[in-house]
Structures are given as C-alpha cells and as structure tokens.
Amino acid sequence: MTLDRGLYQTLLDARVFEPRALVDALSSRRRRTVAGTDGKLLILAADHTARGKISLGGDPLAMADRFTLLDRLVRCLAMPHVDGVLASADILEELAWLGALDGKLALGTINRGGIIGAQWELDDRITAYDVDHVESMGLDGGKTLIRIDHKDPSVARTIETVARISTELADRGIMSLIEPLPYVTGADGSPTLDTSDDALVKVVAIASGLGAVSAYTWLKVPASVRMNEVAGATTLPILLLGGEPGPNANDTFGLWEQSMAEPNVRGLVAGRALLYPNDGDAEAAVLRASSIVRPNNSFTTEGSS
C-alpha cells in the first residue's frame, strides 16, 4: 500500500469538511491486544515532529514533509512484521483515516512540550494526549518522556507528572510506556544526552518505581553494550529505541540484535532509523529490524479484541 497524491488531497479536504471522520476512524478501528501472541513488538515511532524534531543529519527539514512521512508510515504499517505506531493525535488520526491502523497498535505520545532547542527543553510538559483521551480514542497505550538532569529543577515536575500519568493509565488497564533518559548540562548550557551505561542503569531503576501501579508499565530505552546490566535493573518489559540512523546502519542493527538477547527486552520502538534510513529503503530497514525482533519469523496475525 502506498499513499498517492489524490488520496492525500482527499485527506486534506476531510480535515475541512468532515473532521469528525478522522476522530471516528481512530476510535472505531479494529484493535488487538498489546502483547499479541508472542509478546514481541516492532513499533514505528513517529512522534518526533510534535516536539519540533524535524531534522536528520545535516538536513534541518528532513522529516518536515507530511506527505512523505505518511507515505512511509502507510507502506511500513502494511508489512505484517510491524505491530503498530507511536505518534501524536494528528498522525494517528490521519493513519486511521487512511485505513493503516486496523489490527495495529496505536500508542499516543503525551508530553511533547520539551521543544528541541528551547531554553525549557527538559521541561517536558503535556501538550499532546492526556490519559482521558488515550482511553476515549481507543488507544492501546500512552508514552511519556522523562529526561533526568540532576542540575535542572524542572525535571522534578516531570518525574511527578510521569508517575501520575502511569498510575492513571494503569488504573484503566492501559499500557504506560515510559522513556527514561539520562541528561547532563553541556558547556554551553544546553541539555545533552549522557551516553554512559551507569547513568542509563540508574534512570531505568528510577523509571521502574514510578507510579502507584507498575503492572502495565513498559520502558523504552537505548540499546547498550552493557544491556545485561541495563535490563537487569528491572523486570519491566523493555522496548529499544531507535535514534538517528547514524553513518553505519550495521552498528545500529548489531547493537539491537545484541541487546535483544536479554529476556525482558521485547522489541523495538524505532522511527528515524527505519523510516529514513541512509539508503532510503524503509521497507528493507523494517524487514531487517523484524528479523531481529522475531528471528524465527514467529509473527502471527491476531483477531480484534
């Protein structure tokens, strides 16, 4: 399945003349259980744009064109190896209207207020979905971001907010996907990802204890050469994040494969590395990722739930 310009124009018209159609398409889509039949997940991440992340490598507008993004998402979601997508309301509604989410997981991103490059970047406020709309729109989970910098006081509010959201999702029996990342303040005062494994282990431990209920919590964390220690810091199921493609895709895929060996690492939530690979072949990148998540091709379709 591909997205042609004619259908895209009809989508644009629907936003003007039939806005309810987008809401109805998402809330009434055919659903499945989160874990499926094998407990493995390959999720496409498409919530970057809601936080102002539209650059890739040296191109500041690489992911800005919505037609291109939707086309790649539609094509890859049509592959049986892909379980679903993580996105903001605009993208999830568009994909549902296009019929791309039937039988797929739809995870709604929640706190996108930490705009890339802003002075308040680590103040990750709720600007996308809230818990009530995750439930009312029939989504399968809500995702929160928590970037922990010991020198930024705004992080304390984010920790409290993510804990509350995770509890509220669990009370409704809905998956809470938390992305904990260690950050430090750079020499120029800007927030910078702390790539040390010790720091990653620490934030995984912190995120595991957030909320009054942990039963529905999953974590989204970077792959690591010390994944045994990172994953060993929790019993929660873990999905590996993707990040930028990087100059050598083999390094990225190799680290994913190594990290998947840990028993509670259950799959991938990857966006840029799969949708915008260096060679431009998104389907090939997704197929390669699926062979890592399900090396024995154990994917089976599941009926609605």
Q: What is the pLDDT of residues 247-277, one digit of tens each?
A: 888 999 999 999 999 999 999 999 999 999 9
Cβ–Cβ under 8 Å, residues 97 and 11: yes
Share of the chain above pLDDT 70, in %: 97
Banded pLDDT at 102 (limits 50, 70, 90): very high
CA 147/CA 115 separation, integer angstroms: 13
pLDDT average, residue stretch 206-212: 98
pLDDT in tens, 108-126: 999 999 999 998 999 999 9
pLDDT in tens, 6-25: 999 999 999 999 999 999 99
Instruction: Set out the domains of the chain in order of their start, with CATH numbers.
Output: 5-293 (3.20.20.70)
pLDDT in tens, 132-187: 999 999 999 999 999 999 999 989 999 999 999 999 999 999 999 999 999 998 88
Averaged pLDDT of the chain: 94
303 pLDDT above the threshold of 80: no
The pTM of this model reads 0.95
- Four-point Cα dihedral 301, 86, 61, 223, nearest 10: -90
Q: What is the pLDDT of residue 305?
A: 38
DSSP 154-176: HHHHHHHHHHHHHHHHHHTT-EE
